[in-house]
Amino acid sequence: MLKQQIHGWITAARLKTLPAALCPILPAAALAWSENSFKSLPVFTALIVCLLLQIAVNVANDYFDFIHGIDTPDRIGPPRAAASGLLSLKTMRTGMVIITITILAAGSYLVYIGGVPILLIGLASIVSVYLYSAGPLPFSTNALGDFFVFIFFGPVAVCGTYFLQTKTLNAQIILFSISIGFLITAIMVVNNYRDIKTDTAAGKKTLAVLLGTTLTRVEYLILILCPYLILIAMKLVANVSSWLLLPLLSILFWLPLLKDMNNMTDSQNLNKTLAGTAKMSLAFSILLSLGILLS
């Protein structure tokens, strides 16, 4: 029983997606370090909160997609804890409460450091975690999931982490946050692209369902292309350090990912494409952070 519970929570947390929570933290910490404003405890706490928020949204999505009849035996993606019977609904509800309380406890320190702006960001993040899958108009079933992911894993997380250390914002961190937001959103796009058929059958109106396969592939290409174009534009317009072009090395991930996105006949293989997009996003973030430190 205990082994099943542990397996259930690992499944619900979706461990393979968690590195995405690291992507917003690294460049914000690196830029603060380069400006002699780095503060280790706020950064570490922000990382914990970001990880917990991602786990919370994953667990809530698992729970609410099951009770709304979206996760069925025809599901193509990885198994879900509720639909597979690994965790009872009562256990998942209790888990969501505990995770939320832990986020509030850790977040209270960030509010103490960052003040009202961080309080507002924190409350909006927690509310959005549950509005993503629950409520009368869930983000994930009304074509708002991509926007949610972009905002909270891009500008909110990156700029929020930077603000905690410096109490300021600037154009550079905002551009970095947009780049990270695009890449994290691309992970979501692969997930929804893979599930177009089953989501359509279940009445789940993701943006991918509304756009269809061709336009979703275009969306994916735009999302993974724009972060690199932003860095190139920064170099051409503002003459930033050439080290900031270091993330261009992560383009090596592109060919297999684009090939898989153009081969929807093998939907199971898109699970690997999703993982590959997550790895590309993390590689971009690490290389960007390194470029900032070397600038």
Whole-angstrom CA distances from 61 to 7, 84, 134 are 17, 14, 8
The pLDDT assigned to 125 comes to: 92
The sign of the CA dihedral 77, 92, 10, 183 is: positive
**3-state secondary structure (DSSP) of residue 128:** helix
Total tally of structural domains belonging to the chain: 1
What is the Cα–Cα distance from 209 to 151, expressed in whole angstroms? 21
| Domain containing residue 277 | 2-294
What is the Cα–Cα distance from 112 to 119, expressed in whole angstroms? 9
* Beta bridge partners of residue 205, listed in sequence order: 142
Q: Can you read off the two tokens belonging to residue 127? A: 């509310």
The answer to whether 235 touches 244, Cβ cutoff 8 Å, is yes
Alpha helices for the chain (secondary structure H): 2-13, 25-34, 40-67, 89-114, 116-131, 145-151, 157-166, 171-194, 196-202, 207-238, 254-261, 270-294
What is the Cα–Cα distance from 267 to 106, expressed in whole angstroms? 39
**3-state secondary structure (DSSP) of residue 16:** helix
What is the Cα–Cα distance from 170 to 181, expressed in whole angstroms? 17
pLDDT tens for the chain, 295 residues: list them. 677 888 889 888 888 788 888 999 999 999 999 999 999 999 999 999 999 999 999 999 889 988 888 776 666 667 788 888 889 999 999 999 999 999 999 999 999 999 999 999 999 999 998 899 887 888 888 899 999 999 999 999 999 999 999 999 999 999 999 999 999 999 999 989 988 888 888 888 999 999 999 999 999 999 999 999 999 999 999 999 999 999 999 988 887 888 878 876 556 678 888 889 999 999 999 999 999 999 9
The answer to whether 191 touches 274, Cβ cutoff 8 Å, is yes
The pLDDT assigned to 15 comes to: 83
